[in-house]
Amino acid sequence: MDLANCYKKVRLRTEQICSPLQTEDYVVQPVVDVSPPKWHIGHVTWFFETFILKPYFMGYREFNPNYNYVFNSYYETVGNRVIRTDRGNLSRPTVADIYRYRAYVDEAMAKFLCQEPSAEVKELLILGFNHEEQHQELLLTDIKYILGHNPLFPAYDDSYVSPKIAGAESAGFIKMDEGVYEIGYSGEGFCFDNELNRHKVYLNAYEISPNLVTNAEYLEFIGSGGYHDFRHWHAEGWDWVNIHKVEAPLYWHLIDGEWHNYTYHGLKPLSLTDPVCHVSYFEAYAYASWKGLRLPTEFEWEEAATKFSWGKSWEWTESAYLPYPGFAKAPGAIGEYNGKFMVNQKVLRGASEVTSPGHSRITYRNFFQTHLRWQFTGIRLAR
């Protein structure tokens, strides 16, 4: 597919994701990590305007100079911005204004892409597509949070179909040999800077489960008092559990003695065979510890991932999010993409049911802070 069509396709999918929303759903920010959908759709547009149209499209006229202030996420290079906790306090620009902004930028991009761009711009374009795909995933997780924390528990979309993955694998653990392995992206296509350089690591012999932990298995942990026994938890995780009175994964509700969870179809009885989802790293670690097992490292995961199906939920690893040997930040604003977050976060591997098609890779590294749960985060065990 040519770049102009890729652009259209990516942009269209963002709008499709938002199509079931009411105007009001675009506006709110119930917790700092969740951005209002209207902010997402403005921000991904701002990305193309700021990094492609303004520097490379001669004669381009900025849609509205104030939008730089409103839609910059965290690029210090590009100037001041609305502080993150204020995103949900902005009623203007309206949703209609932002769709006009999208249309304006899309029109300019269509013109711009009539001619084959330079290699440098091409690279930025592909980064822009991947950036928008990441925000598509965030849109879906943020929408789930917004609706799932509303006392009316509205459904997002009754026609939403959760992607299927291959059925349960054999129960045994996969055995992996010790040795030197190569880790990181290699190939021609796109990857993020944090997947480079490909480099050698030494792995001890290990075993890894082909299956994700299920809701039924996680209920055993709850039933055995797992949330009330400090021995399974990190000290910091134990504080987190007690301060926030955590008793179950996010979106779980005990109603008249039966567990329900909030889904894109509304509040539903918990499916026991589904993988457990929306757990923090602290909970993933505690569950593994309670089982006498552990989480895999990201290197163990990457090496073994060809041997099982994945892609249902992001999987917490034991690895801290750190640069690979030879990692180098790009100069300028684009260099702020990943490197500055490489501290006090954990790596997640795989992909979730809301990851955009074609966006996942075996070397892809996602990362979140250890207490966060609003992503589709699950658990795979190793030993």
The stretches of 276-368 forming alpha helices (DSSP H) are 281-290, 298-304
User: CB of 344: closest distance to a copy of itself in angstroms?
Assistant: 5
Site string for a copy of itself, 318-357 (x = CB under 8 A): xxx-xx-xx--------x----xxxxx-------------
- Do the beta carbons of residue 132 and residue 44 sit within 8 Å? yes
The stretches of 119-178 forming alpha helices (DSSP H) are 119-148
Answer yes or no whether residue 116 interacts with a copy of itself by CB under 8 A: no
User: Both tokens of residue 263?
Assistant: 């889904």
Chain centroid, CA 145 distance in Å:
13
Pick from 378, 374, 354, 262: nearest CA to 29:
374
Answer yes or no whether residue 94 interacts with a copy of itself by CB under 8 A: yes
Answer yes or no whether residue 195 interacts with a copy of itself by CB under 8 A: no
Burial class (CB in 10 A: 0-12, 13-18, 19+), 61: exposed
Give the range of 111-119, 198-206, 212-220, 242-250 binding a copy of itself by CB under 8 A: 198-206
User: CB of 212: closest distance to a copy of itself in angstroms?
Assistant: 22
Answer yes or no whether residue 30 interacts with a copy of itself by CB under 8 A: yes
Answer yes or no whether residue 17 interacts with a copy of itself by CB under 8 A: no
**What is the spatial distance between Cα 334 and Cα 109, in angstroms, rounded to a whole number?**
19
Contact set for a copy of itself, span 36-75 (CB under 8 A) = 38, 66, 69-70, 74
Among 5, 22, 162, 271, binds a copy of itself (CB under 8 A): 22
* Residue 15 burial (CB count, 10 A): 11
- Do the beta carbons of residue 110 and residue 50 sit within 8 Å? no
**What is the spatial distance between Cα 177 and Cα 203, in angstroms, rounded to a whole number?**
8
Cβ neighbours of residue 157 closer than 8 Å, sequence gap 6 or more: 20, 264
The CA-CA-CA angle for residues 284, 316, 147, to 5°, reads 80
**What is the spatial distance between Cα 138 and Cα 18, in angstroms, rounded to a whole number?**
12
Answer yes or no whether residue 91 interacts with a copy of itself by CB under 8 A: yes
Answer yes or no whether residue 139 interacts with a copy of itself by CB under 8 A: no
Among 58, 152, 243, 255, binds a copy of itself (CB under 8 A): 152
User: CB of 72: closest distance to a copy of itself in angstroms?
Assistant: 12
Contact set for a copy of itself, span 252-311 (CB under 8 A) = 281-282, 285, 294
Among 61, 164, 231, 245, binds a copy of itself (CB under 8 A): 231
**What is the spatial distance between Cα 34 and Cα 88, in angstroms, rounded to a whole number?**
9
Among 3, 8, 13, 154, binds a copy of itself (CB under 8 A): 154
Burial class (CB in 10 A: 0-12, 13-18, 19+), 329: middle
User: CB of 1: closest distance to a copy of itself in angstroms?
Assistant: 34
How far from 190 is each of 133, 137, 305, 349, 358, CA to CA, in Å? 13, 18, 20, 17, 11
Give the range of 85-93, 102-110, 125-133, 247-255 binding a copy of itself by CB under 8 A: 85-93
Among 10, 17, 18, 28, binds a copy of itself (CB under 8 A): 28
Among 3, 6, 78, 90, binds a copy of itself (CB under 8 A): 90
**What is the spatial distance between Cα 274 and Cα 278, in angstroms, rounded to a whole number?**
12
Answer yes or no whether residue 83 interacts with a copy of itself by CB under 8 A: no
Q: Is 314 helix (H, G, I), strand (E, B) or coil?
A: strand
Among 8, 234, 291, 361, binds a copy of itself (CB under 8 A): 234
Among 238, 259, 290, 308, binds a copy of itself (CB under 8 A): 238
Which residues contact a copy of itself by CB under 8 A?
22-30, 38, 66, 69-70, 74, 76-77, 82, 86, 88-95, 146-147, 149-152, 154, 178, 180, 199-202, 204, 206, 230-231, 233-238, 281-282, 285, 294, 318-320, 322-323, 325-326, 335, 340-344, 370
